[in-house]
Structure 1
């Protein structure tokens, strides 16, 4: 699993809301996802770090009221991965010893707690120490637009790259 080494400057509000909703939907079981970042400059945010813009659910993730686990070999092996997000259905916003073991990979880890409202989360660094993670009100691309392309668009891109 590759993780970016650049700092994480914040999280998009839409991304935080998505994670909180996913955690609430998983309740009373824990929720676990992988955080991915985009260079903050792409959103006109000062700084050289990344803005968390995506949460990935990894196939074969298992969950119960006391823990969630994922198969690390299924996490995308690229530099966009910046950390993890998971929930504590009991509402405790402190990392457990097991959480701290998971935190060794990635720069930021977010714990969400019941009742999963906008103030029911905390960020931690790879050592499990509290971290500051600002929430940014930015417009993220519409997920519907992700697949908004035609075969002609693919052919043009391949031709531009010299692969056709």
Structure 2
């Protein structure tokens, strides 16, 4: 059915999806399954640092991605951002600190400023209590864990 004058109107769901793609909808939560997957990946790669990218939909981190060519070592992970697909659902990064300290380093802070709006650092022993989310300025932020 077509109604004159209403062509092009979008539903609220479509508007929310577009805002999320543009990064206008702030990230406020992470799925528990994603956080558990992050911890498992960090544990598996210990003693090396591990890195991935965060994808969000409607303000909830729902997936992680790995970029081809990422190099992971004991002190750092080298990410080739030019391998990042054109994908507005990618909102930031996640990486581990094998030392157990999940505070951002100087290099982390420089990276946070240049890429994404939310970043997660996880530390040993890689469980639901040993992580912290940060905004693009490196300030701690709260993410709700949702099922």
- Coarse TM-score class (shorter-chain normalised): 0.7 to 0.9
Corresponding residue for 1:58? 67
Corresponding residue for 1:19? 38
> Does 2:81 align with 1:72?
yes
Aligned-pair distance for 1:93? 1.2
> Does 2:104 align with 1:85?
no
Aligned-pair distance for 1:81? 0.5
CA distance in 2, matches of 1:108, 1:13: 17
Aligned-pair distance for 1:3? 7.0
> Does 2:121 align with 1:121?
no
- RMSD between superposed Cα atoms in Å: 1.3
> Does 2:114 align with 1:95?
no
Aligned length, in residue pairs? 126
Q: Normalising by structure 2, report the TM-score.
A: 0.82
Q: Which runs of 5+ in 2 are unaligned?
A: 1-20
Q: Which runs of 5+ in 1 are unaligned?
A: 40-49, 138-164
Aligned-pair distance for 1:4? 2.5
Give SS of 2:28's match: strand
CA distance in 2, matches of 1:51, 1:75: 20
Kept after mapping to 2: 8 A contact 1:35/1:85: yes
Structure 2 vs 1, CA of residues 7 and 63 (structure 1 numbering), >3 Å: closer, same or farther?
same
Q: Would you identify which runs of 4 or more consecutive aligned residues in structure 1 move more than 6 Å?
A: none
Q: Normalising by structure 1, report the TM-score.
A: 0.74
